[in-house]
A and B are shown apart, each in its own frame.
Chain A
Amino acid sequence: MPEVCDNIISTLAPCLVQSGTNPDVAQFISILLGVALIASFPLLLVIFLIWVERKIAARVQDRLGPNRVGPFGLFQNIADALKLIIKEDITPAGADRLIFNVAPVIAMLSVILIWAVVPFTPYNIGADLDIGVLYFVAISSIGTLAIMMAGWSSNNKYALLGAFRVVAQLVSYEVPMVLALLVPVMLASSMSMQDMAFAQLGMWFIVLTPVSAFIFYVSNLAETGRAPFDLIEAESELVAGYNIEYSGMKFGLFMANEFMHAFTANLLFAVIFLGAWAGPGATSVPILGFAYLMIKTAIVYVPSLILRATVPRVRIDQMMAFNWKFLVPLAIVNVIVIAFVLKLVQVLGIAPSPENASDFVANIPQMVALLLGNAVILAAAFGLIRGTVRKERLTEAARLAKRVQIEGEKEALPATVATH
């Protein structure tokens, strides 16, 4: 990696020093510019994302979507943002003023900070932390705090109830997410996002561990509050959830944050499982890497939008049962099996050596071994599900049959009972 253009800071600071600025001041200015650049990109992107989401949802529901302001309604969200900004800034009378106003800012912060460790190209990353993955997990947990603060400070029972549900959901789904992230960390033998991108030059991790990719994707849907896990704002049950008392731009911040979080989660999926910037010519022309990353993100982001527009919401007990009785055990077994297979591959000597790690062919033996491991996990998981569901069905049938016997209504026997 050339030292000169490692990141924006080491590029700009020497130039400023050459033109006669104090080195410390030059360093400060370039860091400030780098931070501003990385932080404002998602903020601008979100305006476009909301348009994309509304258009796709409209197409799924056989509508046109925004189409009045600007070409294809592209400027609709700018108009909406303007409207939100000029609205009156209301703080409810019983609210805890400071916490109420800080909560949207912290929510926003928890998403924007994640962008600091996203490797956009082989040479451009906000901060290539040694602990990139752990940093992401730690920052996401701050988002929970923002929701808690918003729900409590509103002094509204629906907001508080909404916050409780959300926190229960977010804390629960963090468990399978972290366990799923362990597998890519083992494969790359590093927690740095950039190392992870380089480790995927030979083979993307989604091919090596489809099970952890699936767990990460599903728990990300829940973490970002996307359907079918959108209990965060179950408007039919909780009016609006934790942000019920917010209006104007403070509500706008929460809303923009939700869209941004969904995109960021998919961006991380693309980084961790789809090889980040990897693609033909990405190492020689870095800007291509950025384009590849965005395309890959779009490939996983658009299905999540279609999913959101099509599936109904699950009940909270179903959501919790799905997490604790299926995702968490699956994630734990996945980590153990993959660790075992990885060690086996190393002992047998079919793992790609560090020299040819980026060679596709050298990765094939390891890939086959890992895929076999994944297939075993999946077969076991689906076997277990089938057994459990069958048992539930049989108990239900027995219960019905007993009731029918007592009531003597033979014609009321449902079709499910008749088949057993």
Chain B
Amino acid sequence: MLELNASTLVFFIFAVLSIGGALGVVMSRNLIHGALFLIVSLFGGAGLFVLLAAPFMAAVQVLVYIGAIAILIIFAVMLTRSMTNMREVFNRQWWVSAIAAVILLAVLIVGVALPVWGPNGTQGDMVLSETTATIQDLGVALVDGNQFVLPFELASLLLTAAMVGAIVIARDNE
């Protein structure tokens, strides 16, 4: 089932980056190191998107998650001097996140296992979608009335509202 070729090798490299980075996020005692590990993990995810022939998703992953969100997190951590010197690994809410993590892992395992080993599963044969969508397909899908134009516009509206809200909160009272 699993043959060793170049793409398998690359898959393992990115998988290790992704999981290793994620472990680093939760285990490093330094918050900045944690944020940098997050970037490593996200980069591994971007690599996996490339392997799945979804270069657009990979570029967006790098642009939005690494270029914007991770930078924002680092920025926030650096601006709060007391947080850069934090040494505790756990805080008081550790059990909440533990429950959330376990539930998420269970859902993921079920989601992966059911289609393959479930009652109607493919029993080991990996079934990949035959269609490969291009950026054109993605672009059309986002503005096509029969497809995703409503969720797309709603998301845009939500983001605009969030941006306006942020500006209103941040501006001085005049």
A129 pairs with B55, CB closer than 8 A? yes
Interface size class of B (residues with CB under 8 A): 20 to 34
Q: Does B62 contact A (CB under 8 A)?
A: yes
Q: Does B36 contact A (CB under 8 A)?
A: yes
A141: chain B residues at CB < 8 Å are 62-63, 66-68, 71
Q: Which of A99, A137, A149, A167 contacts B63 (CB 8 A)?
A: A137
Q: Does A89 contact B (CB under 8 A)?
A: no
The A102-159 residues at the B interface (CB cut-off 8 A) are 129-131, 134-135, 137-139, 141-142, 144-145, 148-149, 152
Complex: chain A residue closest to B6, CB-CB: A24
Complex: chain A residue closest to B56, CB-CB: A131
A153 to B105, CA, bound (A): 34
B67 pairs with A138, CB closer than 8 A? yes
B66 pairs with A148, CB closer than 8 A? no
B67 pairs with A134, CB closer than 8 A? no
B135 pairs with A139, CB closer than 8 A? no
A139 to B6, CA, bound (A): 24
Instruction: Using A99-B36, A149-B36 as known contacts, say yes or no to A134 and B71 having CB atoms under 8 A apart.
Output: no
A141 to B75, CA, bound (A): 14
Q: Which of A137, A152, A164, A191 contacts B32 (CB 8 A)?
A: A152
A131 to B61, CA, bound (A): 13
A152: chain B residues at CB < 8 Å are 32, 74, 78
Instruction: Using A141-B67, A148-B71 as known contacts, say yes or no to A134 and B56 having CB atoms under 8 A apart.
Output: yes
Contact with A along B67-82 (1 / 0, CB 8 A): 1101100110011000
A131 to B134, CA, bound (A): 10
Q: Does B59 contact A (CB under 8 A)?
A: yes
Instruction: Using A130-B135, A138-B62 as known contacts, say yes or no to A167 and B67 having CB atoms under 8 A apart.
Output: no
A134 to B59, CA, bound (A): 6
**CB pairs A–B below 8 angstroms (28 shown):** A24-B6, A96-B32, A129-B55, A130-B55, A131-B56, A131-B135, A134-B63, A135-B59, A137-B59, A138-B59, A138-B60, A138-B63, A138-B66, A139-B62, A141-B62, A141-B63, A141-B66, A141-B68, A141-B71, A144-B67, A144-B71, A145-B70, A148-B78, A149-B36, A152-B32, A164-B75, A164-B78, A171-B71
* Chain A interface, >50% SS class: helix
Q: Which of A129, A131, A145 contacts B66 (CB 8 A)?
A: A145
A130 pairs with B134, CB closer than 8 A? yes
B75: chain A residues at CB < 8 Å are 148, 164, 167
What is the total of A-B residue contacts with beta carbons within 8 Å? 64
A148: chain B residues at CB < 8 Å are 71, 74-75, 78
A130 to B137, CA, bound (A): 12
Rounded to whole Å, the gap between the CB of B78 and the closest CB of chain A is 6
Most A-side CB within 10 Å, residue of B6, B60, B75: B75
Q: Does B39 contact A (CB under 8 A)?
A: yes
Q: Does A160 contact B (CB under 8 A)?
A: yes
Please name 18 further chain A to chain B contacts, defined as beta carbons within 8 Å, in addition to the given A148-B71, A174-B67, sorted by A numbering.
A129-B55, A130-B56, A130-B134, A131-B56, A135-B55, A138-B60, A138-B67, A141-B62, A141-B63, A144-B67, A144-B71, A145-B66, A145-B71, A148-B74, A160-B78, A164-B75, A164-B78, A191-B135
Complex: chain B residue closest to A27, CB-CB: B6
The B8-67 residues at the A interface (CB cut-off 8 A) are 32-33, 36, 39, 55-56, 59-60, 62-63, 66-67
Q: Which of A24, A131, A144, A149 contacts B59 (CB 8 A)?
A: A131
Contact with B along A338-368 (1 / 0, CB 8 A): 0000000000000000000000000000000
B67 pairs with A142, CB closer than 8 A? yes
A24 to B4, CA, bound (A): 13
A174 to B67, CA, bound (A): 10
Most A-side CB within 10 Å, residue of B6, B78, B134: B78
A149 to B60, CA, bound (A): 22
A142 to B62, CA, bound (A): 8
A145 pairs with B32, CB closer than 8 A? no
A27 to B55, CA, bound (A): 22
The A319-336 residues at the B interface (CB cut-off 8 A) are none
B36: chain A residues at CB < 8 Å are 99, 149
A130 to B55, CA, bound (A): 8
A128 to B135, CA, bound (A): 14
Most A-side CB within 10 Å, residue of B55, B59, B74, B79: B59
A330 to B74, CA, bound (A): 30
A135: chain B residues at CB < 8 Å are 55, 59
